Amino acid sequence: MRENSIWRRYEVNDVIWATRALEWTLAAIFAILVPFRWIIWMMAVLYWVISLWVRKRQKGPNAHGLARFNQVMIPVDIFLLSLVVSVTGGLQSQAFILYSVEIVFLSIYSSIFWSLWGILAIWISYGLACGNWTNPELWWREFMLAFLAMAATLLGLSLRQTIKKLYQNSLHIEQLRALKTLQESVVKVSSLPASVDTILQTGIRLLDTEAGYVCLRTPAHKLQLISQVGLGAEEGRDLWESYELQALSRGVTMYYRNLENHEPAQVSRGLLARGQRELVLVPLRDQETIIGILGFAGVQKKTPLMDHEVILNGLAEMVINQIRFDSAQASSLKRGRLLAVLERVGRIVTSNLEMNTLLRSLHQAVAEELETDSFFVALTIPDDPENILMQYLFDDGKEYPPEIMDIGVGTPTEHVLLKQEPLLLKDSMDSSQPTGSLRIPKSAIIAPLAHEGQIIGAMSVQSYRICYDEDHMEFVLSVASQAAIAIQNAQLYQQTESIALTDYLTNLGNSRRFSIMLQKAVGHASRTGSSLSLLVIDSDSLKQINDHYGHIAGDTHLQIVANVIRRNIRDKDIACRYAGDEFAVILPGTRLNEAVAVGDRIRREMDGKFAWKDSMIGTTISVGAAEFSVPMTSEELFAAADRAMYDAKKQGKNRVAVP
């Protein structure tokens, strides 16, 4: 898209070439009657041969040579026309009118300065051809040629300006057409680097330059190269020592010419070594924010890079659009992944009401999307603001059992629970580490668990290897909002299940809980080979108390039995009211002799009296003890302990018996 292309478009060179052929033909006609006409004819034929040869060779990509041929021929024409005038009569020859054709050629191809020199050459040549400088008619004709030259020069100036405007408009149209084609092509490119490469390659071709690159601003306010064309790998790593940062801070297009005259430290590395002497930097502006720099560099051309404003702005806008599209696509993919995880969390919410299973599933869902070395869910304890229940804790490859822990003053977990706002911690954590991690993590996110405006706990993900960012925190917060609903449902389920499995009078497990827990205990002992014993306890006094003092006194007696049992067993032992005045105690990891000792402690504490109104009521219990052995079932173990209890009654009550 050089200027000669627009001259070809309007056929100026072709017209001048054809006009010159007509001019030489007329010169030959003027010389048809002179003695030396064969010389003129030979020159005309020679011109025709040469011009036809030049015209044939100046087609296609070499058409700009025709313009040079036409310009070089102007002084030759003036000399040969003067020769024609001389041999055809000098001042009497009418061939002088052909000078007007050369004046037109001068006005088209030359500036006013060179046109004046050309006109002076015509004056002198015509005077020499006539050989009579004192003849008034010569000066009259010279005056006519001068007037014609002045008019032609003014018209030529207007013509060149018009052609220049036509060229500029045509160039803009061609540039816009090329940019439109480029825009259509980059839409089909999938990745951001590939699409920016395509834009840079097209820009280099349109600008007729050698190198281009795009770098984006990072969160740390530095520049990161995302694509480059025409630069080596080494140069591509460090392109912004000074000029790029200046363009980034000023927010305007900056142009540098004669780079070799600048300080080497200010010039982007590699440009001078590759012979590139000019540089243009266009800020990439997304609305009011400058997000990066588009740069083009090359050797100095007749048209500076800065003059291609339409191309530069168009290319910059296309790069910005591709960055927006890539960002929107990445955001869409992120949203898609988030929705997929939240959909999975939703399934977990509806399908898991058992707390540990629920939290383990939540951990797995988070770990599939986010690198997680430590994960915990801590729940608040009603009426105990200084402690939390670490309901689920996974750290460094190991899952830990639930545990009540001190929140700790000033810890991040305390901040989240008190302020009810999330925390993103990275790189600056010290010994005041998040609750649950056994060593200081590299990064952590702690999100509050809130249900209907009330804080119920906190959820945290932590990493010993990577730093989390705002996108990671957004993901954790989305999961936490779903997890809070699931945890609340699980807590309600636990409360409902506890009510369904608890005896209303003694707050011990009921017969249903006893059956469930005995089956689990027998199954565990069968698999692991651990010891297991069972106590069956029956009141010796309930019937007499009910008959003499009423059922309220009998209920009090049962509550006393339940409290005595609680005081004499471990936390892992399970006590239940099986039926009426019959109780059962499951003793995991306990041999028969140890079980007998436990039963005897309970029996001795119950051997006494309790006050009821104005009376003292005596009470005793009978205890049967049995030990599990393979291949016993839970029913067989219970039957053995129950038989032992009846044996104790037959032997006189208030004692412990074994099968």
Query: What type of residue is 99?
Result: Y
DSSP for 491-540, written as a single string: HHHHHHHHHHTB-TTTSSB-HHHHHHHHHHHHHHHHHH---EEEEEEEES
The 10 Å Cβ neighbour count of residue 296 is 27
Burial 448-468 (b: 16+ CB within 10 A, else e): bbbbeeebbbbbbbbbbeeeb
Name, in order, each residue with C-beta under 8 angstroms of 292's C-beta and a sequence gap of 6 or more: 214, 215, 216, 217, 223, 226, 248, 283, 284, 319, 323
Say if residues 192 and 326 touch (Cβ distance below 8 Å): yes
Compute CA 362 distance to the chain's CA centroid, rounded to the nearest angstrom: 25
Quickly tell me which residue has 């039995």 as its tokens. 561
* DSSP at 98: G
Query: In a 10 Å sphere around its CB, with 0-12 CB exposed, 13-18 middle and 19+ buried, how is residue 131 labelled?
Result: exposed
Catalytic pick among 396, 581, 607, 647:
581
What are the tokens at 442? Answer: 């590299």
Helices (H), 58-191: 64-87, 99-109, 112-130, 136-186
* DSSP at 223: E
Query: In a 10 Å sphere around its CB, with 0-12 CB exposed, 13-18 middle and 19+ buried, how is residue 199 labelled?
Result: buried
The alpha carbons of the chain give a radius of gyration, in whole angstroms, of 51
**Which strand (E) or helix (H) includes residue 214?**
strand 211-217
Is 581 marked active-site? yes
DSSP for 432-484, written as a single string: SPPTT-SS--SEEEEEEEEETTEEEEEEEEEESS----HHHHHHHHHHHHHHH
Q: How many CA atoms lie within 13 A of 576 on its CB side?
A: 22
Query: What type of residue is 73?
Result: M
User: How far apart (Å, rounded) are the C-alpha atoms in residues 377 and 397?
Assistant: 16
User: How far apart (Å, rounded) are the C-alpha atoms in residues 145 and 33?
Assistant: 26
Query: What type of residue is 359?
Result: L
Strand segments (E) across 396-436:
398-400, 403-406, 423-426
User: How far apart (Å, rounded) are the C-alpha atoms in residues 622 and 180?
Assistant: 97
The three-state secondary structure class of 216 is strand
Compute CA 111 distance to the chain's CA centroid, rounded to the nearest angstrom: 57
Per the DSSP assignment, residues forming a β-bridge with 111 are none
Q: How, if at all, do strands 454-463 and 532-539 pair?
A: unpaired
Say if residues 634 and 522 touch (Cβ distance below 8 Å): yes
What are the tokens at 35? Answer: 């003695």
Query: In a 10 Å sphere around its CB, with 0-12 CB exposed, 13-18 middle and 19+ buried, how is residue 493 labelled?
Result: middle
**Which strand (E) or helix (H) includes residue 25?**
helix 12-30
Burial 108-117 (b: 16+ CB within 10 A, else e): bbbeeeebee
Name, in order, each residue with C-beta under 8 angstroms of 35's C-beta and a sequence gap of 6 or more: none
Say if residues 199 and 187 touch (Cβ distance below 8 Å): no
Query: What are the catalytic residues?
Result: 581
